Amino acid sequence: MAELTTLARPYAKAAFQYALEAEALGEWAKQLATLAGASQYGAMAELIATPSLSASEQADALIDACGDELSEPVRKYVQLLAQNKRLVLLPQIAELFEAFKHAHEHAVDVELTTAFELTDADQETLAKALEQKLKRKINVRAQIDQKLMAGVVVKAGDLVIDGSMRGRLEKLARAINS
């Protein structure tokens, strides 16, 4: 995995620089995510890995699979990746591109896991508190896990804040048993 990321980094960085100069970070991020998803689909993944097909044929098949979702610069980028036999790196490229984009925007994706559905006002309150704590723009994605009983688990990159009832009970149990 680390090796694939190492190979993907220069391609992701080049795409990011181009998109930044073209003021199209959001468009490129969306299109790269589409390409990454398409490239991992069973039949497409096999096609990309088929050595008997030319780079142009592989790129054309992937571009056709994405339809009108891709702009002309992204189509050329796919052709370049195919020529360099790097189409298999699209998932890592998309992931790295997104990381570069978030770093540029001083943003972080935050996953909120709660026992019950949060209201929009509650999500906004938590997002504002996290923005102040992390000093970054927050992109919230909420999900429900009824096993938590109550409270919230916040995941922002490597940071995990477990404010759930389940987490507190487990911590108490560990303290009692030690």
Domain boundary among 53, 84, 103: 103
**0.85 exceeded by the pTM?**
no
Domain boundary among 74, 103, 132: 103
Total number of domains in the chain: 2
The verdict on 151 and 166 lying in the same domain is yes
The verdict on 110 and 159 lying in the same domain is yes
The verdict on 16 and 96 lying in the same domain is yes
The verdict on 51 and 97 lying in the same domain is yes
The pLDDT tens digits for 47-91 are 788 788 888 888 888 888 878 888 898 889 888 888 888 888 888
Length of the chain: 178
Q: Which of 120, 119, 127 has the alpha carbon at shortest distance from 154?
A: 127
The pLDDT tens digits for 91-122 are 889 989 888 887 777 777 778 788 888 888 88
Backbone angles phi, psi at 145, to 5 degrees: -135, 100
* Structural domain containing residue 166: 106-177
Q: What CATH number has the domain bearing residue 65?
A: 1.10.520.20
